[in-house]
Chain A
Amino acid sequence: MYNFQYHRPKNLEEASQILDVGDDPKLVAGGMTIIPTLKQRLAQPSDLIDLADINNLVGINLQYQSLEIGSMTRHCDVAKSEIVREIIPALSSLASHIGDSQVRHRGTIGGSLANNDPAADYPAGALGLGATIITDKREILADDFFVGLFETALEDNEIITAVRFPKPKRAAYTKFPNPASRYAIIGVMVAETNNQVRVAVTGAGDDGVFREEKMEAALSTNFTSDAIADISIDDETLLSDIHASSEYRAHLINVMAQRAVDKAT
């Protein structure tokens, strides 16, 4: 690992200041992605800005009919939260299957969304549930947030502070995990919200998480697994690697989506 300056600001303003003046600064949240990256010398930031001491980035609140989850809230805390279980059980289940217990004890929702790994779970959760990503500068709809592989709409000096999830009428997340890493080979979030049905797929797209519009249209008129059973997914834009070919991923998307529809509560 190359060396760097380490900072542990007490509030957002201080963090933001260091971000503005640093040579090539990087934020660190749970470190579950960035530390392995630094260990492999795939990045060489001048400064690491640890968000751990900024208290108001942690917590889960119910506001009107939405859950607002602080960006530094760990996966284990979302998984165990009574309020998440009650309002959006699909999100609690998603969080409880990220990686392993030790990863969930450090990894955070803000870090996962900012990282936008094409096989990560939270991007499908946020896109499928129609979440809003809240930063220190503005609010970004999930539909506009995920730009490409490991790429988001975030500016270099922007910090995610929270994520707002509207309560769906019903939703479920299913994933076919890579047996070694537990990352999604395919993960599908299906949600019926107030005015639409949303289907978000992770693990498959060569541009990262995406919405599956043919399924959304079919489920809008008939929310049953039968309604999507015959929808075939074009594998042209899907990832193909040692874990799964694009044809297999296309098939799995349909299977996982049907299971999610059957499970949606």
Chain B
Amino acid sequence: MPSVTMKVNGKNVNAEVENRTLLVQYLRDHLNMTGTHVGCDTSQCGCCVVHVNGSSVKSCTMLAVQAEGADVVTIEGLADGEVLHPMQAAFREHHGLQCGFCTPGMVMSAVDLAKENPDPSETEIREWLEGNICRCTGYHNIVKAIAAGTKNMQG
């Protein structure tokens, strides 16, 4: 089997995988990092969003072998020990989740937005979330959380 090497949350990892293994399967089934979720089979829900070389992408629509040599960050890589990342803290503070299934993808997507646009308007936040579907919250509190989290990330 082909072997693939990448950096996940700062650590070098190497494993043998089939060419058809998706990045999300590699993270969940091989590395046992189950924070990244799979919510759909159509590349639409965004539960599986991780960062690859600094951009948010859907890890269910990328092969593990395509991430050879890449720098991957997942939801597990955000907190500093017990201290939540400012975006995670904002989701907790503003009640940006109910069941939590969409949350890892929402948070990873939001952290990427904050890098691209440090002061997004409500409309810009909503447009950015086009690829993240939540079945519980109705989005209002997610949008509030992201506005607050983005601010907190600046300082």
Contact = CB atoms under 8 A, between A and B. Distances in A.
A39 B2 contact: no
A2 B41 CA distance: 16
Interface string A219-242: 000000000000000000000000
Nearest to A8: B68
Given A6-B19, A38-B20, A101-B112, A52 B131 contact: no
Contacts of A4: 19-20
A153 B113 CA distance: 38
Interface stretch (B6-14, B54-62, B96-104): B54-62
A43 interface: no
Interface stretch (A102-110, A142-150, A166-174, A190-198): A102-110
B2 A6 contact: yes
B63 A31 contact: yes
A3 interface: yes
B62 A35 contact: yes
Contacts of B113: 101
B18 interface: yes
A6 B43 contact: no
B19 A31 contact: no
Main secondary structure of the interface of B (DSSP, over half): mixed
Contacts, number: 72
B86 interface: no
Interface in B39-96: 41-44, 46, 49, 55-58, 61-63, 65-66, 68
B109 A32 contact: no
Among B18, B44, B49, find the residue whose CB has the most chain A CB atoms closer than 10 A.
Answer: B44
A22 interface: no
B2 A102 contact: no
Given A2-B20, A3-B20, A38-B20, A106 B62 contact: yes
Contacts of A38: 20
Interface residues of A, number: 29
A91 interface: no
A8 B19 CA distance: 12
A188 to B, nearest CB: 21
A3 B68 contact: no
Given A6-B2, A32-B61, A181-B44, A102 B49 contact: yes
Nearest to B46: A102
Given A8-B68, A101-B109, A39 B57 contact: no
A162 to B, nearest CB: 22
Given A35-B61, A36-B61, A105 B56 contact: yes
A3 to B, nearest CB: 5
B130 A101 contact: yes
B66 A102 contact: no
A52 B66 contact: yes
Nearest to B113: A101
Interface of B: 2, 18-20, 22, 41-44, 46, 49, 55-58, 61-63, 65-66, 68, 109, 112-113, 128, 130-132
Interface of A: 1-6, 8, 28, 31-32, 35-36, 38-40, 48, 50, 52, 76, 99-103, 105-106, 180-182
